[in-house]
Structure 1
Amino acid sequence: MITPFQVACKNLLRKKVRTLLTLVGIMLSTWVLVSLFGFNRGYEKALNRDIENMGYQLMVMAKGCPYEAATMMLQGGTGLRYMEQSMVNDIMEEAEVDKITPILMQAFFDPNKGESGGIAGYFGVDPDSYPAMKPFFRFRSGGWFRDNSAAEVVMGYEAAELEQREVGDMTLVPEKNVQLKVVGILERTGTQDDGTIFVPLKTLQRIAEIDKITTIGIKVKKDADITKLENKLYQLKDVQVVSFSQVKQTIMKLISTARVMVLSIAIVAILIAMAGVVNTVLMSVLERMPEIGILKTMGAMPGDIFRLVWTETLILCGIGGVAGIGFALLFARGTDLLVRRILPYAPSGGLVVIDGGLALLTLGSIVAAGLLSGLYPAWKAGRVRPLESIRRDG
């Protein structure tokens, strides 16, 4: 006995080129839609991961240009303004503060970087407090400094690769003619830490001939009110506060604008694909009017004809949707690289995350939209009058 599914498949195969073009349209629409959903999920996860990898939720620095603060935060740049170290004790007294670490950022001109030289950046950190802020750090070799004033450095993965240094080598601080021993090289993290050279805080202060700091990293207690702590910190003299939660919200607002534009394009693509579905199924119905009339004279009910035509729509959307999701998964890496070209300052890690739940959601959306688009052709097929359709054929 031939099933409605088999009949629907045979009907679609009658016009192979038209059916194939419709499938391609549905596939491309599904590809765009699932990639957009994957980007929506992946970007936020990557941004959250990068913020968590900072090890602290707040940064306090000397009051100055906010663009300098953004540079320090996002690019590991060097600030030009300093704070007294006593500020660390003042902040540590706040009830919302869990951990705190002072940082001194310094830059020295390095004539060996590029044809005209460049800037070598150093982070002076406290070996007692800073590692606790970065629990995800893993060493490729070696470890942290012995103490806060040791003549030693820990190099990020890319910094060590660039300077071709191994544990036990000596490295020269440009401009100052000071040699430091490499005691640790970090594994790759995918963040700005990879290009950073870490020095004990007191050692860098001695080299730079300054007893101040540029930044204070603050890790807030789990259930503490970050906004309340920010308001307290704003009361401190001559400082500015950078909250990574605020930065995240600002970035996500910017991304939301781009997301709306891309979503609009995806909706247009889906509408075009659904128009193709309507065209394919409706043309199939019109071409088979006499056959439908004969089926009705043999006892087929309007509901039977409706289900038969709707089955064709379901097959088109199902195959096209599955193919689109398959291509999205297959070329997810390429999509990720394309997004990074468009958004060069995107967070590290995968930006397009597609899992089983997301794939099923997209497939369900495509099939639902397709079945809606197939209502009219199926309704029209169900209303065919047997005698009129047979007489028209004759």
Structure 2
Amino acid sequence: MNNRDLLLMGLGNLFRRKTRTVLTVLGVVIGTCSIVVMLSLGIAMDRGFQEQLSYMGDLTIIDVNNYGYYDGGMGSGGQQIKLDDQSVIQFQKIPRVTAVMPVRSIYMKMAAGRYVGYVNVIGIDPEVMEPFGFSVEDGRLLQASDRDTIVFGKSVAYDFYNPRMQRNYYYGMNRDNPPPVDVLSAKMVMTTDMQYGETRNRWQDDTDSTPPKVYDVRGVGILEESNSEKDYSAYMNRSSLEKIMEEERRNNRNDRSRNDQSQFERVRVKVDNIEDVESVQSAIQALGYQTFSLTDILNSMKETSRMIQGILGGIGAVSLLVAAIGITNTMVMSIYERTREIGVMKVIGAQLTDIKKLFLIEAGLIGFSGGVVGVCFSYLISVGLNHIGAGFMGPGSTSGMSVIPLQLALMAIAFSTLIGIVSGYSPARRAMKLSALEAIRND
């Protein structure tokens, strides 16, 4: 007998006992549906974690800090690692690194007419702005030729206030009104003098120290809102900011020592995709640097998610185990009812392997059909859960309460089919070993 004949015969045997077949398939449906839905909740939770972290920043960016230490070996003491231009070159040579952004920053006082504000000014290289996801809502990004130009974060303009007004602080609280300063058109200056534009005390006026220099600057762009550090900082060409910082240091207006001038506050490393972040991070740590990325938090969340998925999957697996027992019971009962038929097949020359295949095919068909129907019901339940949970998770969430990837659906069908075949293996061997004469005599 060929496989096609065995398949048709198996289908006919299952249809002859429709009630028993439907009930057995129903058990597989419930088991498959349970395990798929349970796992889908865990997958949705995992994606929800990743979505939440994406609001905090780019998951493919690694922050390298300047307080790493390298142990010279054999307990000889630690030598401080410098985060300088040489470090940047080392990071650029690491495979899968897309771009490297050294960062310098200084807190400045900015003024536009009667309005003043405290702004964190960050110096970066203009050519790395696009790789690091900087995009403007208005104006343009920095260019290599820029010297006194600044790109502002979305919220910076709301931090300006009029010090002569009693209720003068905006600090980004009131977004219903336009910001007090148009940073792209206003004539602006910045200085390290934190009292600039404020009412000075007498003791401040009597001091003999030279007041800090005031620098003319102009805004050329406003970044899109990103719910990250970018919203609350201003960016200018790193070389221009370094000149200002050096000039302030020479005038003793900055507490940074000469030795520290070669070091960066931090270096940001852009990786080509999230799967390579851990390997790049490990390579940087091997050089002796302290690193941090959002994937550190994500990995911790994923561990929790895996544990929850294991528990949920175990609950669903219990239902599938019960279904497997039901398949075994159905096949054993089928052997008892078809003992004479098995004997006739052996007498007319059917091979033992064909008899074994017949029962395995029947058990596999039960598992396969139950898996297919179970996956279909799983998708319906998933849609219902997402519809119900949409009101609880907020309009910004895209992951939903239940996510069933195509791989999970296909694996569920394959697994349920395998469960059916495994459950039918013992009854199939029993049918194969039946004595032909005794089987024919059986009523």
The two structures have a TM-score, normalised by structure 2, of 0.52
Task: Name the counterpart of 2:46.
Answer: 43
Is 1:8–1:308's contact at 8 Å kept on the other side of the alignment?
A: yes
* 1:119-178 Cα distance to aligned partner (Å, 9 max, x none): xxx995748569827744666x535689999796526xxxxxxxxxxxxxxx94368997
Within the alignment, does 1:142 sit opposite 2:141 as a pair? no
Task: Name the counterpart of 1:164.
Answer: none
Task: Name the counterpart of 1:302.
Answer: 352
- The CA distance in 1 between the partners of 2:148 and 2:390, in whole Å, is 39
- The CA distance in 2 between the partners of 1:327 and 1:137, in whole Å, is 44
* 1:333-356 Cα distance to aligned partner (Å, 9 max, x none): 556789999999xx9757876555
Task: Name the counterpart of 1:57.
Answer: 62
Q: 1:149-164 residue pairs with structure 2 within 5 A?
A: 154=154
- The CA distance in 1 between the partners of 2:34 and 2:134, in whole Å, is 36
Report SS of the residue matched to 2:350: coil
Is 1:127–1:145's contact at 8 Å kept on the other side of the alignment?
A: no
**Structure 1 residue identity aligned to 2:46:** Y
**Structure 2 residue identity aligned to 1:142:** D
* 1:211-241 Cα distance to aligned partner (Å, 9 max, x none): 99xxx76423766722146x545xxxxxxx6
Deviation at 1:293, TM superposition (A): 3.0
- After superposition, the Cα gap between the structure-2 partners of 1:340 and 1:8, relative to the gap in structure 1 and judged at 3 Å, is same
- After superposition, the Cα gap between the structure-2 partners of 1:341 and 1:92, relative to the gap in structure 1 and judged at 3 Å, is farther
* 1:256-275 Cα distance to aligned partner (Å, 9 max, x none): 32233233334323322211
Task: Name the counterpart of 2:180.
Answer: 179
Report SS of the residue matched to 2:268: strand
**Structure 2 residue identity aligned to 1:263:** G
- The CA distance in 2 between the partners of 1:358 and 1:59, in whole Å, is 37
**Structure 1 residue identity aligned to 2:285:** T
Report SS of the residue matched to 2:345: helix
- The CA distance in 1 between the partners of 2:361 and 2:233, in whole Å, is 68
- The CA distance in 2 between the partners of 1:361 and 1:136, in whole Å, is 37
- The CA distance in 1 between the partners of 2:352 and 2:26, in whole Å, is 31
Deviation at 1:374, TM superposition (A): 0.5
- After superposition, the Cα gap between the structure-2 partners of 1:290 and 1:175, relative to the gap in structure 1 and judged at 3 Å, is closer
- The CA distance in 1 between the partners of 2:362 and 2:48, in whole Å, is 39
**Structure 1 residue identity aligned to 2:268:** K
Select 1:263's aligned residue among 313, 317, 321. 313
Q: 1:183-202 residue pairs with structure 2 within 5 A?
A: 186=224, 192-193=227-228, 197-198=231-232, 200=234
**Structure 2 residue identity aligned to 1:312:** E
- The CA distance in 2 between the partners of 1:267 and 1:104, in whole Å, is 57
Is 2:150–2:235's contact at 8 Å kept on the other side of the alignment?
A: no
Report SS of the residue matched to 1:179: coil
- After superposition, the Cα gap between the structure-2 partners of 1:56 and 1:151, relative to the gap in structure 1 and judged at 3 Å, is closer
Is 1:303–1:382's contact at 8 Å kept on the other side of the alignment?
A: yes
Report SS of the residue matched to 2:101: strand
- After superposition, the Cα gap between the structure-2 partners of 1:181 and 1:35, relative to the gap in structure 1 and judged at 3 Å, is farther
Stretch moving more, 291-300 or 36-45 = 36-45
Deviation at 1:316, TM superposition (A): 1.0
- After superposition, the Cα gap between the structure-2 partners of 1:18 and 1:371, relative to the gap in structure 1 and judged at 3 Å, is same
Is 1:290–1:389's contact at 8 Å kept on the other side of the alignment?
A: yes
Is 2:393–2:400's contact at 8 Å kept on the other side of the alignment?
A: no
Task: Name the counterpart of 1:277.
Answer: 327
- The CA distance in 2 between the partners of 1:264 and 1:320, in whole Å, is 19
Q: 1:284-295 residue pairs with structure 2 within 5 A?
A: 284-295=334-345
- After superposition, the Cα gap between the structure-2 partners of 1:361 and 1:151, relative to the gap in structure 1 and judged at 3 Å, is closer
- For structure 1, the 5+ residue unaligned runs are 63-89, 106-121, 156-170, 203-210, 234-240
Report SS of the residue matched to 2:180: strand
Task: Name the counterpart of 1:219.
Answer: 268
Task: Name the counterpart of 1:113.
Answer: none
Deviation at 1:291, TM superposition (A): 2.8
- The CA distance in 2 between the partners of 1:292 and 1:14, in whole Å, is 16
- The CA distance in 2 between the partners of 1:133 and 1:31, in whole Å, is 45
**Structure 2 residue identity aligned to 1:273:** A
The two structures have a TM-score, normalised by structure 1, of 0.58
- The CA distance in 2 between the partners of 1:184 and 1:310, in whole Å, is 68
- For structure 2, the 5+ residue unaligned runs are 68-81, 92-99, 108-117, 156-168, 184-220, 237-253, 256-264, 272-279
Within the alignment, does 1:132 sit opposite 2:132 as a pair? no
Task: Name the counterpart of 2:5.
Answer: 3
Alignment coverage as a number of residue pairs: 312
Larger Rg: 2
Q: CA RMSD in A?
A: 5.3
- The CA distance in 1 between the partners of 2:224 and 2:366, in whole Å, is 52
Q: 1:110-129 residue pairs with structure 2 within 5 A?
A: 126=122
- After superposition, the Cα gap between the structure-2 partners of 1:151 and 1:267, relative to the gap in structure 1 and judged at 3 Å, is closer
- After superposition, the Cα gap between the structure-2 partners of 1:300 and 1:175, relative to the gap in structure 1 and judged at 3 Å, is closer
Task: Name the counterpart of 1:115.
Answer: none
- The CA distance in 1 between the partners of 2:377 and 2:359, in whole Å, is 28
Is 2:28–2:323's contact at 8 Å kept on the other side of the alignment?
A: yes
Task: Name the counterpart of 1:159.
Answer: none
